[in-house]
Every structure is written in structure tokens, then in C-alpha cells.
Amino acid sequence: MSYQAPLNDIRFLLNDVLGVNQLHELPNYSEATPDLIDAILEEAGRVAAEVIQPTNRPGDTEGCQFHPETASVTTPTGFKEAYRQFVEGGWTALDAPVAYGGQGLPHTLKFVVDEMMCSSNLSLGMYPGLTHGAISALHEHGSDALKDTYLEKLISGEWTGTMCLTEPQCGTDLGLIRTKATPADDGSYRIEGTKIWITGGEHDLTDNIVHLVLAKLPDAPKGTKGISLFVVPKVLPETGERNPAWCGGLEHKMGIKGSATCVMNFEGAKGWLVGQPHDGMRQMFTMMNEARLMVGMQGLGLAETAFQESLGFARERLQSRSLSGPKNPDGPADPVLVHPDVRRMLMRQKVLNEGMRALALFAGQQLDLSIAHPDESVRESADDLVQILTPVVKAFLTDEGFNNANTGLQVLGGAGFTTDWPIEQLVRDGRIARIYEGTNGIQAMDLAGRKLALKNGRLIRNLFKTMTGFLSDHEDAAHREGLKHAIRTLEKATTWIGENGPSDPEQVGAAATPYLRLTALTVIAYLWSRQATTAQRLLDAGAGQTDLLKAKQTSAQYYFDKLLPEIDWLLADIRDGKASLMALEDDQWAV
Amino acid sequence: MSYQAPLNDIRFLLNDVLGVNQLHELPNYSEATPDLIDAILEEAGRVAAEVIQPTNRPGDTEGCQFHPETASVTTPTGFKEAYRQFVEGGWTALDAPVAYGGQGLPHTLKFVVDEMMCSSNLSLGMYPGLTHGAISALHEHGSDALKDTYLEKLISGEWTGTMCLTEPQCGTDLGLIRTKATPADDGSYRIEGTKIWITGGEHDLTDNIVHLVLAKLPDAPKGTKGISLFVVPKVLPETGERNPAWCGGLEHKMGIKGSATCVMNFEGAKGWLVGQPHDGMRQMFTMMNEARLMVGMQGLGLAETAFQESLGFARERLQSRSLSGPKNPDGPADPVLVHPDVRRMLMRQKVLNEGMRALALFAGQQLDLSIAHPDESVRESADDLVQILTPVVKAFLTDEGFNNANTGLQVLGGAGFTTDWPIEQLVRDGRIARIYEGTNGIQAMDLAGRKLALKNGRLIRNLFKTMTGFLSDHEDAAHREGLKHAIRTLEKATTWIGENGPSDPEQVGAAATPYLRLTALTVIAYLWSRQATTAQRLLDAGAGQTDLLKAKQTSAQYYFDKLLPEIDWLLADIRDGKASLMALEDDQWAV
């Protein structure tokens, strides 16, 4: 594996298309100068390629090991040292609050770094990844005492954090949680219960692990309104005592074998309430929304590595002659890159990957604006976009990240199916991203069933305004008609849901998955139009980088020609409604 | 795993829709009475569920083991005994020639049995699967002496066979083969060279293995016109001597770990020419075409098992309430089967699986007619359909079989990603089927670049005639307009290729993959129309099986509503042509 961070594409998006390099004009981000951003990109690319990447294969072959006698977990060879270097480089602190030792840089940069780390070793990236969510939840909802105790060490990477939500009887439906929290005399709580699929629940990278645990107080109302959030450290910071929060074993999984997926038994472990009682779902969503964006970057990161591998293979592998005459007449055959059907696979990877990166970084930029812009109305509309794009980034980037990794495998043919090449691992690793932090079906319901209705539909209206605003501001917008058609198609679908959903919520459920996909394809069309428009402007200005800019134009053309037309099918599916989907009676499924 | 062969669906297709139970009216198949067919289905279902299925998980966990000191391979626990029972049941002889101990039954039955075996253990099914191709090649092209020496023991399953094609420098492009065959004084040849990815190249299921090897004679013309086919037994039948055809190691793979994928070193091994010199490609295609149809059944078989698993899970797993009010009010939540988005996944699996089964059995029926019908014109048009449908069955059933297995995994959520459930193995196992026996891109080129042009386009015209003939014969055809639209769409695409391909073969290459997919969706539309029409007829006649027949009507409706509309996108892609696909220059790929 010889991953190289796609720095030129990232720079083009950040600097030329989105203008993320202007964020330093906001008071909060005054340190994020273009020079600093560029230095961070370079160094992150180096760390990903040189420090993280070499641990990826051992992580898969060895996996994590559970030692029942001590309830401990060892990570694969190299993880500890790579994590140490990652921490020492300050990468866990990048966008964390300055008051607790963070660097306070824009979140968009964190997105970029996440992509690179997931390209290099998804399993290893999970440990700091989940920690980041714990930091945010504590920072946003915790008392000063909790923040003072935990934040600095989580931000520095000295400790890691977890999200303990799932139990055997409940994943999606957290209202069914059984873990109990009983108040103790000293203001703390005793946590009792079993959590499953806890990423980084136990490991040997750090001395302490800070669990954020959903549990029910004795007087809790039924369902999700009765869930509270607790901090439960593995080792009590005050005394150094071991808290009875034990790993009961590891899951055996299709992929991400270097990520310790733990059963966690809380056996009267000491915990502290975060924020108010029964407010756990809201607090959990602070972690979850952030995790969803990060998981989207996982899908993209794996797809980028797969693309690089398959492109390299297609340039090297000589097989058959080009249909338009030999391209490598002195060799025994032409590189398979010349064959239209191989190019179809590579173009799909390239164009969708770059489109997904644009979508993610656009969402990241909106996140930064929603936090740091001095104008409240800008903050609010940016937040609208973040809210509506979060499920889209999570679901579309993991679905298509997986599909693109899988397409990369196909380019390699039989070689891709062997463990001699890294792609089959990328496919296996990426499969989970469509499931965890809310399955992609749940993302679709979040979008179509919840986000569309928020604030009387303002979120999606703001999205439309952003896209049509671009068209009004740019008479020379590339692929103008294609983008207008996409916007109209998404409007029709939105109208259909608005008309049919209120009287029959199952219609929303039936429409949700194609609607999310339609939204993603439309926003990516908007971002391809922006990229192609920018490329033309820079070409006209003779700005150099001609190959990149021309490739952007071709890629945009490919997107509008070959990929975007799926939206008509999606609209037809949505408008067809739920009838045939819901018609089978119970006895008619298997007959 | 608790696979049950889908006998009712198979019976409906064979007896009610296709009329395969009438094949006994042909002299060659007089023994294939409806009663015998039914007994075979029952027994095959029992063997698959009770004998084969229990070996599937150990096959994956243990894999095959290579022993370098003896160049031998041991198969996983249980394979030997299961293979013995499979052989003793006569399953290797089902459709093999009677003259050599076969049962001479219709090939369609073999298709059905293939599906069941691949549902139960794809890896184990590969050993007799490849043998079958060796039998056909020898039977069709071998001398009487070769047939007398090998056929009986291959058919009885006492020996197995292989296809030795691929070499390190050539997979798709067999013209680059380097393996040499040197004539010896006794009329045999000495084979020298290395073959890779040889399924069943070495194992412990049988005492002898019969390799069919592509190699070049000293005077061979360059390229594919200089390839000859040789029989190279592991043990020489005359003397019992070990032939120097050694396994040099096993591939380490993403899946089908119980299938021994061997490097084979032929070190002056004794071989015999099959048929004429330099005629190896044609003979190879006898094996290959058969293998392609079988590989299609692999995709379907895995998808069927995944569907059964995910349906079972969706019925049992309680999570959240139905959007239309509680369906399981006494339980803590409703089964996830009630949620529209879960049903979307299950309906996709059910409707596509049944459609793919119909397509495969229709192709099987045509294969039988092409061989056994007394009327030459019937034989010829049936052969046209077999030829044009072979790449379609191979590619579409493995693509969508994989996608459906993957969809089944998604229904299980996190559970599906663990090895506690069988689906992740099905996904990994099924990944190879899109690659071997010609990648699916090669299948698309075979269809669009070769089969369309054969006999001046007669093959595809016969396919159109079959479909429009059904509409003329059945004024009451269900989904008449939808099917007509699909046929017209396929006609338009065919015309476009006919108009653009001759002057620019790269246009065919660009169109190939969407064209194959469009063909598959159209033929499946034809077969869903036939199924729904048959269901209505039987319901009108009060024939019983009401649940199955109503499910068929709902499924057909779903297919025409939700899945078939993809064809408009495919046609748009085809007509858009190669421009943006071929535009990137070499330096513009990674910039």
C-alpha cells in the first residue's frame, strides 16, 4: 500500500472553491492562516503515509487480543507507537477548545485529517475518533468540575473516550436501555449494566479510558425521555482506583479488526451525571452528530486509498490491446487503463470521491461558520446546512465509499480478491461504516422524517437558497441546466414528501432512502458545478495547474453525463410511494 | 445458518411458468417425469440443508491448508465426508452423458441443484463444479481413448477436474500464455509452466485430479490462435505414477477459504492433446460458458441464503414502533420488518432473487431445448438465447447476488458485521464471483461486442422475438405497458450500439456494462410479467397456494414500480457515449 494524501485536490477545494483559507478572517480562527493550513496539510499527509499506514496490515492480520484473566485488551503491533506519535504531533488537539489545551483550529481541518487517517488505518483512527465525541459532549454539557477533571487529558490524547449506547436488546431504539444508575451519597452514581459494540472500550494505548454511558435513573420516565448520560472512567482520577467497568470480551468482525469492539460490563462502576437528569439523548446527539460526520470521512478515506491502488494497478497491468489501436506497441499488451470499461470503474471512483470530498468539506466549512461567524444570521443558516447535511454525509459517503472501494477491487480482478493486495481489507473495513452511528436507513429517516420538518422546513429551504444563490451569482456557472434540473427534481421530491408525509408517515419511511440519495447527488452536482466554474476561471487566468483544472472539467462533465441522471429514477421511486413496498402480508414473505 | 431450499418458488417457475416439467416429452429427456423432477428437488434440498450446509462455517474458519513438504492440500473438517455423500447420492452425474455413467437428466435441474449447493457451501460446491466443465470439454472435444480413460471417473466423482488457464502475466488476455507443450515420442506431450488461481488444483477429496491445461505447442502461432488444450492427470491412470504437476502454494483470499486456489507448477508433466492443435480457445469456451452459467447460480445461491437470514432476523428483532401504530403491542417494540426502509431492503432481495432465478432457469431451459429438441430450428433459436443470456446470467446474477447478500447484511445492522452471523461470510465468498470465469466487464464486452454481432444480429433478434411473442400470445399479460417500454428501451440501446459501434469500437466498450444491465433488467421484466400472468391464471382457477401467488403479484408490481425504471438511466448513459469516459489524459488522472 502506498497511499499519498490527495493534497492538491484538498487545496483546490479549500482554497479555490470553498474559500476555507479565508476562515482566519473570523476572530475565533485568526490563527488559521493560509500558510498554517498548508503546513498542517503537508504534515498530516506525511504522518498518514509514514506513521499510520504501516500499521494497517498488521492491524488486520493480528487484530486485537482479549485476555480474560485480566479483562484487558492488547492492540496490534505498532498501534501503541503510532498512537504515541499521533498524540505527540498534537493531532488529537487540532480543533479542540484552547481553554483545555486544544489548538482551536477550524473543524474543516479536522475533517481533512480524519480522511487521511482513515485512508491509512481506519481501525487506529477510531480510538482518537471516538475520544473527540466524548470531548465535545463533556465540553458542551459537563459541569466545570467534570471539564477540569477530564478535558485536558482527553484533548492531549493521554486518555481516550468511548460512547456506551448499545445494549443487546437495543441499538437503534435507545428507549429500550436497561443499564441503571443509582445515586450514591457522595453525589456520584453507581452504574450497572452491559453495553455492547463499544469501540475502544478497553485497550493498551493509554492508561485511562473515559466512558460516556447512557443509563436510566431510578425515577426515569419510560423510553428515550428517561435516559441520562454519565461519565464513567476506567481508573478514578482522584484515587487511581480501578473502577469496575470491565471488558467482557471482543466481537469477532468482518473488518476493522484492529479496533477493539468490546462488550462492557458495568458492575456498580462509579459515574458522574453529565448535565441534567433525563437529558441524555440530547447530549448523546452532540457526540453522535459529530461521529456521523467523522464516519462519512471514513467512507471517503477508504475509497480514496482504493482509488489510488486501482489506478496504480490499471497503469501497470498489461492486458489486451486498446480498441482504438495499440497504446503500448513495444509491450506485450496495453495497460488496462486504456479499456473503456476499466475507465468506467476508475472514473466512477475519481468523480464520486472528489464530489464526496467537496460535500464533506462544504459541510465542515458550514460547521465552522455556524460556530465562529460573528453574524448570528450567518451562524444560524450555516447550522441549518450542517443539520441537514449531517445524515447525507454519513450515509452517502459510507455507501458510496464502500461501493467505490469495491469498484477498486474489481479493477484488480483476481488480485483484488487476495490478501496480497490491500483493497479487500478496505472493503471489509468500510462495510461497518454503513451501519454504526445509526444505520444509513436511520440517517435517511433523520433527513426525511425529522430534518425536513424542523423549523417549518427552513433547513431544506436554506439548502435550496444556497444552490440557487450560486446560480444567480454566477451566470457563467458550468453545467447550469443540469444543476437546475437536479434542484427542480429535489424540489419535487421534497414537495411530494410534504404533501404525503403528514397524513401517512409510512410514505416518508418509504421515500427516505431514495430521498437522501437524491439530496446527496443534487448537492454534489452543485459542488461539481462550483468546481468546474472555478476551474474555468483559473484556466482563464492562466493560474497554472492545468492538468488538475482540466481534469476537474472532465470530471464534472462525467458527473453530469453519467452519474447525476440517476435522480430521475429516484424521483420516480419516491413518487411511486409505499404501496408495493408495504403490500406483502406476514404469511406471504416466505411461502 | 438454517437454509431451506426455496422449493415452492422453484416448483412454481419450473412447472407453472416455464413448463420445464414438460421436457420429458422430448425423447432425450423421457426419464425426466414431473414426479422424478420433484423427487430430485426434495432430495437436493435435503442434502443441501443437512449434508452440505454444516460444513460451511468450518470451511471459512479453517480454510484449506498447504503442506509444502508433500505439496499437498487438506480441505477443512467435514469437506471429505460431505463430498463423499454428495458423490454417493449421484449428484455429480445428474446431467452427465449416460454413455459414461451419467443420468442424462435436463441441465435445468443441474442449475437448480447448483443454486442449492452454493447456498449451502460455495467453497465445497466448487470442486464438483469445475469438474463438470472438464467433463463437458472432454466429452465434446476429446478422442474416444481420452473419454474412455477419464469420463466415467470424473462423472462418478471418483476424480475431480480443473481448468488451468490463468498465468501470472495473463488472466483476461490468454494470448499471452507462456506454458509450453513439447511433443514426446509416445504421442503425449510434456507440459512446462506455471498456472495460478487454479480452483481445486490440489486437495484431499479424491485420489486423482484431472487438469485441463492451456499451453502452446512449439510451432504455435502468436496470440490466442496458438493455444492448445491438454489433459494432464495428477496420477497417470495407466501406471499409477505421480505426474509432476505440483501445487506450489495456496492463495490467501477474502473469501471461499474452503476452496483450494492453487499455484500449479507443471514440471514436464505428461499430457495429452484434446482435439486439434491450436484449437484450445474454442475448447476452453466449452468449459468457460458452462462455468459462467454455474457462477451465476453461485451469486443467486448466496443471495438466497442471505435473504432467508435477513428475513428471519427482521421478523425476530424488536426495535421501535411501526409508523402506522404498534403491530406488537404486548412486546417492548415491533419487529423491524414493519419499518418501510427495512422492507425496502427485503423486497429488493426477494424480488431480484426470484427474478434472477427465473432468468437462470429460463436460460437452463433454453440450454436443454438447444440440445434435446428434435426440431433443428427450435434447437438453433434456443442456442441463440443461451449464447446471448450466458454473459447476462453470469454478470447480473453475481453483481446483484453480491449486492443482495450485502443488503441482507445491512438488515442485520451491527450483528451482520460480526462472524456470529453467517452473512458476512456470504458477502466475502460472493465477491469473487464477479471476477472469475471472466470479470463482469468481460461479460459485458462478450455481450455487446461479440454476441450482438454474431449471425448478423440474429441472437438479440431472437430474444426480442421471444419477448414480443409472449405479449402477442397473451393479451392479458400483466404489466404489459411496462414490459413494452423495457423492450423498446433495449431496442433503442441495441440500435445505438449498431449505429455507433462499427466506426468506433470504444463506443461499444463504453456502452457494454450499462447495456448488459439493461438487457438483464428487461429479460427479468419479461419473466416477472410471465410470473404475474401465471399467478393470475392460477388464482382465477382457484389452484391453491394463494399466498405464493399473491406474493408473486406484489413482487411483480414492486419490480415494475421500483426497480425496472433504472433502465431509462442506463439508456441515457449508453447514448451519452464515450466522450467524458475517455477524455482524461494520462497525466490528468492523479494530479
The answer to whether B437 is a known catalytic residue is yes
How far apart, in whole angstroms, are the C-alpha atoms of residue A327 and residue A4?
27
- Kindly report, residue by residue over B108-159, the tens digit of the pLDDT: 999 999 999 999 999 999 999 999 999 999 999 999 999 999 999 999 999 9
**C-alpha grid cell for residue A508?**
416518508
B166, B171, B311 member nearest A590 (Cβ): B311
Question: Confidence band (pLDDT; 50, 70, 90) for A505?
Answer: very high
Q: Considering only alpha carbons, which residue of chain A is nearest residue B587?
A: A547
Strand, helix or coil for residue B215? strand
How far apart, in whole angstroms, are the C-alpha atoms of residue A399 and residue A512?
15
SS3 sequence of B358-401:
HHHHHHHHHHHHHHHCCCHHHHHHHHHHHHHHHHHHHHHHHHHH
Q: Which amino acid is located at B215 in the chain?
A: A
Strand, helix or coil for residue A180? strand
B chain contacts of residue A582, beta-carbon cutoff 8 Å: 340, 343
For A86-89, the CB contacts below 8 A with 24+ separation are A86/A47, A86/A51, A86/A52, A86/A117, A86/A128, A86/A157, A87/A128, A87/A156, A87/A157, A87/A158, A89/A43, A89/A47
Options 2.40.110.20, 3.20.20.120, 3.40.50.300, 3.40.50.11900; which CATH number does A161-278 get?
2.40.110.20
DSSP structure string for A243-309: PSEEEEEE--BSS-TTS-EEEEEEEEEEEEE-SSTT-HHHHHHHHHHHHHHHHHHHHHHHHHHHHHH
- Kindly report, residue by residue over B325-365, the tens digit of the pLDDT: 999 999 999 999 999 999 999 999 999 999 999 999 999 99
Closest CA to A381 of A364, A369, A392: A369
**C-alpha grid cell for residue B490?**
433495449
CA A302, A303, A306, A308: dihedral to nearest 10 degrees? -110
Q: Would you say A142 and A292 are in contact if contact means Cβ atoms under 8 Å apart? A: no
Run of H or E residues at A198: strand A189-199
Question: Confidence band (pLDDT; 50, 70, 90) for A590?
Answer: confident
DSSP label at residue A221: P
CB contact under 8 A, B441 and A345: yes
A554, A557, A581 member nearest B340 (Cβ): A581
| Rounded percentage of chain A residues whose pLDDT exceeds 70 | 100
CB contact under 8 A, A506 and B323: yes
A383 to chain B, closest Cα gap in Å: 27
CB contact under 8 A, A547 and B311: no
A325 to chain B, closest Cα gap in Å: 10
A273 to chain B, closest Cα gap in Å: 26
CB atoms within 10 A of CB B146: 18
How far apart, in whole angstroms, are the C-alpha atoms of residue B523 and residue B447?
14
Q: Would you say B174 and B214 are in contact if contact means Cβ atoms under 8 Å apart? A: yes
Cα distance from N-terminal residue to C-terminal residue, chain A: 48
**Most distant CA atoms of chain A, gap in Å:** 83
Q: What is the mean pLDDT of residues B166-189?
A: 95
Q: Considering only alpha carbons, which residue of chain B is nearest residue A556?
A: B580
User: Under 8 Å CB-to-CB from A69, ≥6 apart: which residues?
Assistant: none
A338 to chain B, closest Cα gap in Å: 8
**Per-domain boundaries in chain A:** 7-152, 161-278, 444-579
CB contact under 8 A, A431 and B431: no
Q: Would you say B438 and B446 are in contact if contact means Cβ atoms under 8 Å apart? A: yes
pLDDT of A591 higher than 80: no
Run of H or E residues at B529: helix B505-540
B chain contacts of residue A337, beta-carbon cutoff 8 Å: 586, 589
CB contact under 8 A, B504 and A324: yes
The pLDDT value recorded for residue A1 is: 60
Q: Considering only alpha carbons, which residue of chain B is nearest residue A510?
A: B340
Options 1.10.540.10, 3.40.50.2300, 3.40.50.1980, 3.20.20.70; which CATH number does A7-152 get?
1.10.540.10
Run of H or E residues at A66: strand A65-67
Report how many helices (DSSP H) and strands (DSSP E) chain B contains, helices first. Answer: 18, 9
CB contact under 8 A, A565 and B566: no
User: Under 8 Å CB-to-CB from B213, ≥6 apart: which residues?
Assistant: B164, B179, B191, B195, B229, B230, B231, B232, B266, B271
- CA separation (Å) from A172 to A543, A553, B399, B489? 50, 42, 29, 42
A42 to chain B, closest Cα gap in Å: 15
A170, A566, A582 member nearest B319 (Cβ): A170
B chain contacts of residue A344, beta-carbon cutoff 8 Å: 441, 510, 513, 581
DSSP structure string for B125-137: HHHHHHHHHHHHH
CB atoms within 10 A of CB A282: 15
The pLDDT value recorded for residue A297 is: 98
CB atoms within 10 A of CB A395: 31
B441, B508, B586 member nearest A342 (Cβ): B441
How far apart, in whole angstroms, are the C-alpha atoms of residue A582 and residue A579?
6
How far apart, in whole angstroms, are the C-alpha atoms of residue A25 and residue A15?
14
How far apart, in whole angstroms, are the C-alpha atoms of residue B117 and residue B89?
13
Strand, helix or coil for residue A160? strand
User: Under 8 Å CB-to-CB from B469, ≥6 apart: which residues?
Assistant: none
B chain contacts of residue A178, beta-carbon cutoff 8 Å: none
A chain contacts of residue B413, beta-carbon cutoff 8 Å: 171-172, 435, 439
The pLDDT value recorded for residue B51 is: 98
pLDDT of A8 higher than 70: yes
Sole residue written with cell 454476441: B451
- CA separation (Å) from B557 to B303, B479, B485, B562? 21, 8, 15, 8
How far apart, in whole angstroms, are the C-alpha atoms of residue B297 and residue A45?
45
- Kindly report, residue by residue over B218-254, the tens digit of the pLDDT: 999 999 999 999 999 999 999 999 999 999 999 999 9
Catalytic residue among B376, B437, B475, B491: B437
pLDDT of A560 higher than 80: yes
The pLDDT value recorded for residue A174 is: 92
Task: Specify the CATH number of the domain B160-278.
Answer: 2.40.110.20
The pLDDT value recorded for residue A2 is: 85
pLDDT of A565 higher than 70: yes
What fold is seen in the domain B7-68+75-152?
Butyryl-Coa Dehydrogenase, subunit A; domain 1 (1.10.540)
How far apart, in whole angstroms, are the C-alpha atoms of residue B85 and residue B151?
20
Say if the ipTM goes beyond 0.90.
yes
Q: What angle do CA A87, A90, A91 make, to 5 degrees?
A: 80
CB contact under 8 A, B319 and A580: no
B253, B418, B562 member nearest A252 (Cβ): B418
Q: What is the mean pLDDT of residues B294-323?
A: 97
Q: Considering only alpha carbons, which residue of chain A is nearest residue B177?
A: A332
- Kindly report, residue by residue over B513-550, the tens digit of the pLDDT: 999 999 999 999 999 999 999 999 999 999 899 999 99
Among A345, A548, A569, A574, which would you mutate to test the B interface (most chain B Cβ atoms within 10 Å of its Cβ)? A569
Closest CA to B304 of B438, B422, B413: B422
Question: Confidence band (pLDDT; 50, 70, 90) for B1?
Answer: low
Among A11, A216, A323, A353, which would you mutate to test the B interface (most chain B Cβ atoms within 10 Å of its Cβ)? A323
Q: Would you say A260 and A250 are in contact if contact means Cβ atoms under 8 Å apart? A: yes
Decide the pairing of beta strands A261-273 and A189-199. Answer: antiparallel
Size of interface A-B (CB pairs under 8 A): 266
A chain contacts of residue B9, beta-carbon cutoff 8 Å: 591
The pLDDT value recorded for residue B425 is: 98
How far apart, in whole angstroms, are the C-alpha atoms of residue A233 and residue A270?
8
Catalytic residue among A437, A475, A491, A506: A437
pLDDT of A388 higher than 80: yes
DSSP structure string for B43-56: HHHHIIIIIIGGGH
SS3 sequence of B454-483:
HHHHHHHHHHHHHHHHHHHHCCCCCCHHHH
| Rounded percentage of chain B residues whose pLDDT exceeds 70 | 100
A91 to chain B, closest Cα gap in Å: 26
Q: What is the mean pLDDT of residues B405-414?
A: 98
Run of H or E residues at A404: helix A376-412
How far apart, in whole angstroms, are the C-alpha atoms of residue A39 and residue A25?
18
User: Under 8 Å CB-to-CB from A409, ≥6 apart: which residues?
Assistant: A306, A310, A416, A417, A423, A424, A426, A427, B431
Average pLDDT of chain A, as a whole number: 97
B chain contacts of residue A418, beta-carbon cutoff 8 Å: 251-254
Q: How far out from the chain centre does Cα B587 lie?
A: 39
A410, A440, A508 member nearest B435 (Cβ): A410
pLDDT of B179 higher than 70: yes
B chain contacts of residue A9, beta-carbon cutoff 8 Å: 591
The pLDDT value recorded for residue B2 is: 85
CB contact under 8 A, A417 and B551: no
